[in-house]
Chains A and B, each alone.
Chain A
């Protein structure tokens, strides 16, 4: 319906285009007049734009509280080609508004954090001019993410999907001339984009198949027709869902396309927090949740989704145990938690999945921002320590956990919030992470024991590696001069951390076993939602497993004498070869490189060198040189002798007479 009609449904609903247009306005202002605003001004504009989007989302939520079926606002017709017609429409319902709230809420906090963080970061990297560009990209990302979650058809969703992929590329490669060999960051950005492209290819095929089978790309129309089409052509729906799964593995970093996420840590920390923890990577989960109507028709596809998620959860958790970079641990943790979410929506426990998505956004953003605060502090310490020495950054890595230690005394506030975030990720009651993870485990227990076992093992490892990280970073003695002299971060940085910590602690209230607020909220949109149970045994087992993991971590890393600088990791001796495999991420990147990248590179080189330069260019150049040599040959006849010209004339005469004779 149009803008006027929708005001009559509920007055707040007409504000929905602002969730996209406010961030766009913010980015335009920063782009055009940002240079005159100064750092604080640019940051304020960007944060206000996102904050405005959050406010609109809150109003929409209030409106939905009164009109719970929601509505659809059609802004414009994008294209109509024959039978195919796509509108730019906004879908206001509980699922999309939930996503809007998460994205804009966490996004706003991260914007505020970034003002303080980037202030130091651009100085550390010696390019203050880049501050403005960062906020332009961040607002662009929020705008595209809003397009993704607010669309009412698959094509607009794809537009948003691609847009956030682009912003991810731009932001990962923000310091594009830095990184290994001066090109490492750019290569990481390129890897993210290319791997995502493979996933996007899957999603695109799914869109084609959807149009072919349903004749439309509109959510409402497709989900209505789903049962009928599934009865008529089950193979088509199976293909659609599986191709969509390919897109999900790309965007949400599941097996086998997760490899871009750890490399994406090359971007600034707020980027990792916003994009690669809280929002973009959840787009895949959102897609599956939205398309539940399709997935329930094909239980086989649901099984596959479930297994992909569970295996990823376990696999990534193992790798996280062996990592030494503070952000890489969190990256693999993100992949693992996304595995939990994908398993949940695959099983049909959509509410559990969305609940975990929300709480994960809170505590993972908190952890990443906290890590950023730690990194800032260590960098300050390093700068202070080397004040008299020359200005070299190369050999010192501020993100290496082996160089940290004892920071709880130097950065107390960061320590407290980080501890809270780590505990909720590990799943300790009554923090938010416990409730959301527990719901997923309960649903898994009902569905399949094998899945339940995998997820529980992943939960155990989660607790273990978070404990390891806490102990290595904050406890014990400082292992380098930089950590000795580390200092607490400014208020702009720590304030959002506090807000996120509060959300992580109390966020469980969203879907407590008794009240199930979120479930009733989402029921209006998602049909056939499996109601969540609270099974006491499952809850107690998961709590026990988490505590066990933390205890084991303390046993290995926490006891005195603590882990000194230069010593090998305490896990290396007992696990030996296994630990090397974990440290090297099971050599998956190397495997991909040999099996896929190198042959492809060879083919590309062949095509460029032999085919393009050799054959095609050779053909064209050959034609040119052929003309040249023909001309050189003919030039011999211009010898200037009148008699040979006369001869040519006579030859012509004889030829003409021959023709006349023979005619």
Chain B
């Protein structure tokens, strides 16, 4: 492990941490979204270092590119209001921080005490993960989950459309009760 790689990884780690903190503490939603984008890109760099270029680019395209854009659209739609800082639920803040610390401590304990030493396998070669190999694996071994994911996406689309449609326009009808019913159902 050369000094340079240590420094590089260290820097990436710090950026990830800072952007995470920035996300959860920013009062302005736009700033939070931007912090998250930074986080995604840093993680994509880590993916590249781990020999997963396809995933890294997918991360940038899908996550940072489309999902965050969606978020920004919605933030703009809803007029990002600045909610007051005071916490209305008693004990929520303290408990949350306590749990955060406890969680970290426990996981650290877990890793230190239980984690069996991970033996590094062979070093990563460039042809470890290529679109070709990924595609072969995807369509041969994981065909079913692939199709099901497609179904999930379809459902999500339909759901999104349904949730946000406007009420049906009123139709002229002969009977006034139907019109009344039509009014009530909208």
Contact = CB atoms under 8 A, between A and B. Distances in A.
Direct contact of A and B (CB under 8 A): yes
Interface of A: 639, 641, 643-644, 647, 650-651, 653-654, 657-658, 660-661
A655 to B, nearest CB: 10
29 contacts: A639-B89, A641-B89, A643-B89, A643-B92, A644-B89, A644-B92, A647-B92, A647-B95, A647-B96, A647-B99, A650-B96, A650-B99, A650-B103, A651-B95, A651-B99, A653-B103, A654-B99, A654-B102, A654-B106, A657-B103, A657-B106, A657-B107, A657-B110, A658-B102, A661-B106, A661-B109, A661-B110, A661-B113, A661-B114
Interface of B: 89, 92, 95-96, 99, 102-103, 106-107, 109-110, 113-114
Contacts of B99: 647, 650-651, 654
Shortest 5 CB-CB distances between A and B: which pairs?
Answer: A657-B106, A654-B102, A650-B99, A661-B110, A644-B89
Contacts of B113: 661
A639 B91 CA distance: 13
B97 to A, nearest CB: 11
Contacts of B107: 657
A644 B93 CA distance: 10
A654 B104 CA distance: 10
Contacts of B106: 654, 657-658, 661
Contacts of A660: 110
A641 B95 CA distance: 15
A644 B113 CA distance: 32
Classify the interface of chain A: helix, strand, loop or mixed: helix
A25 to B, nearest CB: 79
A654 B89 CA distance: 21
Contacts of B95: 647, 651
Contacts, number: 32
A4 B106 CA distance: 95
B63 to A, nearest CB: 23
B102 to A, nearest CB: 5
Contacts of A641: 89
Contacts of A657: 103, 106-107, 110
Contacts of A654: 99, 102-103, 106
A655 B102 CA distance: 10
Contacts of B102: 654, 658
A638 to B, nearest CB: 13
B110 to A, nearest CB: 5
Contacts of B109: 661
Contacts of A647: 92, 95-96, 99
Nearest to B109: A661
A37 to B, nearest CB: 75
A524 B107 CA distance: 103
A654 B100 CA distance: 9
A663 to B, nearest CB: 10
A654 B102 CA distance: 7
Contacts of A653: 103
B170 to A, nearest CB: 35
A644 B106 CA distance: 22
Nearest to A650: B99
Contacts of A650: 96, 99, 103
B105 to A, nearest CB: 10
A657 B99 CA distance: 12
B100 to A, nearest CB: 9
A389 B113 CA distance: 111
A336 B165 CA distance: 108
A547 to B, nearest CB: 105
A619 to B, nearest CB: 35
A651 B107 CA distance: 15
Given A653-B103, A661-B109, 6 more contacts: A643-B89, A643-B92, A647-B96, A650-B96, A658-B106, A661-B106
Contacts of B114: 661
A329 B106 CA distance: 98
Nearest to B96: A647
A651 B102 CA distance: 10
A657 B113 CA distance: 14
A641 B96 CA distance: 15
A641 B87 CA distance: 12
A647 B95 CA distance: 8
A612 B107 CA distance: 57
Contacts of A644: 89, 92
Contacts of B96: 647, 650
Contacts of A651: 95, 99
Nearest to B87: A643
A646 to B, nearest CB: 9
B58 to A, nearest CB: 29
A647 B102 CA distance: 13
B103 to A, nearest CB: 6
A289 B110 CA distance: 94
Nearest to B100: A650
B164 to A, nearest CB: 21
A643 B102 CA distance: 19
A644 B96 CA distance: 10
B129 to A, nearest CB: 32
B99 to A, nearest CB: 5
A639 B95 CA distance: 16
A641 B90 CA distance: 11
